[in-house]
Amino acid sequence: MKLLEDLYIYPWFSQTENNCNTIFIDGKPPVLVDPGHRHLFSHVIEGMASEGKIVDHIKFIIVTHSHPDHAEGCDLFGDEVIKAISFEEYSYLKGEGKELFLASGSQPPRENWKIFLKEGRLKIGDKTFRVIDTPGHTPGSICLYWEEKRVLISGDTVFYMGVGRFDLPGGDGERLKESVIKLSKLDIEYLIPGHGELLAGSKVIKRNFKFILDEFF
C-alpha cells in the first residue's frame, strides 16, 4: 500500500498468525524496515509486486528490534544487502533475545549485521532519517523518524491506543514510558507502528500519545 511518495506499508492483519507491519522506502538504495517472519514474507513480495516493486532490488534493511516477528526474515537476503540494528539490540540478541528465538522454534538471524545504529542522523543514499533510541519493549529498540515527511516508524514502542509488551525478557516498563514521552514531543503526521493500523493526522497522534500516557503509565 502506497502511503506517500517513496513510502509503502505492507500491514499484517491476520488473527491466526503473528507478524509485523513491513515498510518499504523506495530510493537509491531501496530500504526495507522490519521484514517480519521468514515464512510469512510472501505477503511483502506480493504487495511490492502489485505496485511494480521488486524485492530483489532491496539493498538496505533496518530492524527496529530483534524479536522473531520483526527480524527473522533478514535471512532471506544475502550478505550483499546491508543489514542494520542497534548495537544494544545486537548484544541482546546474543543473550536473552536469542532465547526468545529458540523458544519460538526459530533460529536467530545470521550475524552479518553491517551497521550498528546509534541515536542521531542516518543518511541512506538520497534520504535522511533520524534514529531514536527507544528502549523498553527490548533493551535496544529504535524508532525511525523521517522528519521531511513527518513520519515515525515506531516498531513495537507505540501502537494505536497501546504500547509494546514489556513482560518478556529484556523488557522494562519505566524505560518504555520514557521512550513514549520522548516520541510524543516529535512533530508527526503519520505514525506507522509495528502492529495494527497506522495513525494519520497530528491531532489524532497527539491524542493517542495522551491516551497511552494516561492509561498505561
pLDDT in tens, 116-152: 999 999 999 999 999 999 999 999 999 999 999 999 9
pLDDT per residue as tens digits for the range 165-186 = 999 999 999 999 999 999 999 9
The pLDDT of residue 109 is 85
What's the pLDDT tens digit per position in 179-215?
A: 999 999 999 999 999 999 999 999 999 999 999 999 9
Model pLDDT for residues 48-65, shown as the tens digit of each residue = 999 999 999 999 999 999
The CATH number of the structural domain formed by 2-216 is 3.60.15.10
Give pLDDT tens digits for 91-102: 999 999 998 888
**What does pTM read for this prediction?**
0.96
With a cut of 90, say whether residue 107 has pLDDT above it. Answer: no
Domain boundaries, the chain: 2-216
Higher pLDDT, 110 or 40: 40
Give the separation between CA 204 and CA 94, rounded to whole angstroms.
Answer: 38
| Distance from C-alpha of 65 to C-alpha of 55, rounded to nearest angstrom | 21
Exposed e or buried b for every residue in 108-130, given b needs 16+ CB within 10 A?
bbeeebebebeeeebebeebebe
pLDDT tens profile 23-34: 999 999 999 999
Radius of gyration of the chain from its Cα atoms, rounded to whole angstroms: 16
